[in-house]
Amino acid sequence: MTTQPNTERQPELTIVLCVHNGAATVTRQLDALERQVWDGSWDVVVVDNGSTDATPRVVADFAASHPRFRVVGADEKLGLSYARNVGVANTSARSVAFCDDDDLVGAGWVAAIGTALRDHELVASRLDWNLLAEGNGARAGGTFQREGVEEVFGLPAVAGVSGWRTSLWDALGGNDETLTLTGEDFDMSMRAFLERGVIPHFEPDAVYHVARRGGVGPTFRQARRYGRSAVTLYQRYGKGRADRRAELRQSLKVWGWVIRHVFDLRDPNAAVPWARVAGMRIGRLEQSVRSRTLWP
């Protein structure tokens, strides 16, 4: 890990942009951040998480011509949890906010989330699933965190593209780096609620455009990771809170749909939605067997 605290100034807000092999997409996000305007002091830390493509050159060239941006390396291990922790370790700002290289911050995102962090310890972005929806069955229309903070097992579950007071982040010990699949963001907001009583604030003006996967393979692999992480979260937070019988009944219905629609794989427009559902269920079943915890 390369640690380069910003000792020359202490911005009110640092945007942490994590990237791994994102040479093809990161410039779009960098340009979107460069266009942001806010009355507070802020900067951007680009965390290069062990990229092996042209990412180091792309982000270094951008930072060289844009003083608000700087690049730090996170080379010891791969993982978004680790990369985000490195980003926070490389700022002295009062607050931090996170974004990813393949997504796109909406106009006014920095101002909205930065202003909200003056009054709240944890701020959730409003997610848009339409603008960056890819073709080949990716389909627009996701609903998660579009209208407010969601709950999982009765606990607030905030997506990772959020804003945090640095003091809260540090008090919780940052992202759990053992969660290498996904789910580290939900885990973090759940811990904030359980350990510190923090209720996330949903900021509707902090619009964040999410890039959904296109293609059967990438969609299936992403959904499988989500499925496996769902079991881990159930182990940590769901027992005693979730209705497992109702979940098992729902699981059987979904598995029935997956089996009945297996021939959707022959239709390019239907294959990706099928892969998303099947990947999630296969991941949940796989992790249920591995952890000896039934949450299929």
The domains of the chain, with CATH numbers, are 13-209 (3.90.550.10), 217-291 (no CATH)
Q: Which residues of 39-66 are buried (b: 16+ CB within 10 A; e: fewer)?
A: ebebbbbbbbbbbeeebbebbeebbeee
pLDDT of 286 reads 96
pLDDT of 6 reads 44
Contact 179, 228 (CB under 8 A): no
Residues in the chain, pLDDT under 70:
1-9, 134-141
pLDDT of 212 reads 77
**Cα–Cα distance for residue pair 173/179, rounded to 1 Å:** 14
Within 10 Å of residue 135's Cβ, how many Cβ atoms?
11
Cα R_g (the chain), whole angstroms: 19
Taking CA atoms, 66 is separated from 60, 174, 185, in Å, by: 10, 28, 29
**Cα–Cα distance for residue pair 293/149, rounded to 1 Å:** 27
pLDDT of 135 reads 52
pLDDT of 134 reads 61
Within 10 Å of residue 5's Cβ, how many Cβ atoms?
11
**Cα–Cα distance for residue pair 180/78, rounded to 1 Å:** 8
